[in-house]
Amino acid sequence: MSSTIGRRKFLQLSTFTAPLLSFQLPGKSAVLFTTKPIMVSTWDEGKNVNAAAWEVLAAKGRAVDAIEKGAIYIENKISCCVGLGAYPDRDGIVTLDACIMDEHANCGAVAGLEQIKHPLSVARKVMENTPHVLLVGNGAQQFALENGFPKEPAVLSEDAKKAYQEWLKKNQYKPVINIENQTAGVTSKRENGPFAPFFFEDGRPNHDTMGMIAMDASGNLSGGVTTSGMAFKIHGRVGDSAGIGAGLYVDNEIGAATSSGVGEEVIRICGTHLVVEFMRNGYSPELACKKAVERIVKLNPAKAKELQVGFVAINKMGQHGGYSIQKGFAYAVKTMGEDKIYQSKFLK
């Protein structure tokens, strides 16, 4: 038998394998292989979140279940920016935001939730047990209690209490009755400020939101976000983390994306939806994230110099990528053969 392939057979194989060739337009994805399952989470702590979620994915469970398990892990820890142990708003109250989205475009979210330990699990109940997407404030808390979530004490963690007391001293904020009759140098509610800083004094960004996206062994995508929002924010402020299409978006035909950073800037461009749409147009996850970052910077280049926003995304081939405005944004990836933290590329 001849060791060569006939012309007709070659053409048949070429037609069949054309989508697998590595030729591509600049910045566009080439279809090479599919990595699944895969779990991706924002920031260094995402590595531990991924480990918790991986128990579900390794057992061929659903991505949405893995997302919830990862969220529960981080919500149980004491950190600056996630869970009831996080830093409070400027009135000394910890309020939580979260959202979740599955492979069928089902989604649920809560915002301004107080004294409930697991906001992402409450968001999932909103998704599964109601016709709504978003519940806020007292209504979100009432819904949580009605669905069996215990009401936790309204106390600050020791770390949060210390940070809040130091912030009060330096900002001279006194949210008390009749503060309108203020003395010089005292910041009051009448002046609207002080506002949440973009960075803490040690240089850490004031927004270590935990964003999570995953693809399970069946090739289905899901994602979730959980956060306490920016420390010392105005009471009632909600960022992008409870916003489907802002802090999280999942399209099971294309990919998924999540964000971390100054949420107002992500909201302005419907950031994660934009990232997924760039991937729909053929861009790799990294390039899709970069183009969304460039959109933010283009709106206000001067302002962008003073803040951080980062995006991370995965596509249906299991490719991942991230991009941020400033240096310092990281995300963690877990697959069958990889468990790694990546430092994203950045513009500035």
Catalytic residues: 209
For residue 153, CA distances in Å to 84, 156, 216 come to: 10, 9, 36
Q: What is the rounded CA–CA span in Å between residue 295 and residue 271?
A: 9
Angle at 234 between CA 231 and CA 236, to 5 degrees: 105
What Rg do the C-alpha atoms of the chain give, in angstroms?
Answer: 22
Q: Is 319 helix (H, G, I), strand (E, B) or coil?
A: coil
Residue 23 has φ and ψ, to the nearest 5°, of: -60, 135
- What angle, rounded to 10 degrees, do the helices at 119-129 and 137-146 form? 80
Dihedral angle, C-alpha 337, 339, 345, 348, nearest 10 °: 180
C-alpha–C-alpha distance, residues 127 and 117, integer Å: 18
Q: Which two tokens stand for residue 31?
A: 């279809």
CA distance 107 to 252: 13
Q: Which residues of 184-213 are buried (b: 16+ CB within 10 A; e: fewer)?
A: eeebbbeeeebebebeeeeeebbbbbbbbb
Residue type, 133: V
Find the Cα–Cα–Cα–Cα dihedral 226, 243, 272, 348, rounded to 10°: -70
297: nearest Cα among 286, 288, 306: 306
d(CA 294, CA 277): 15
**Token digits of residue 147:** 């669905």
Q: How far apart are CA 319 and CA 31, in angstroms?
A: 10
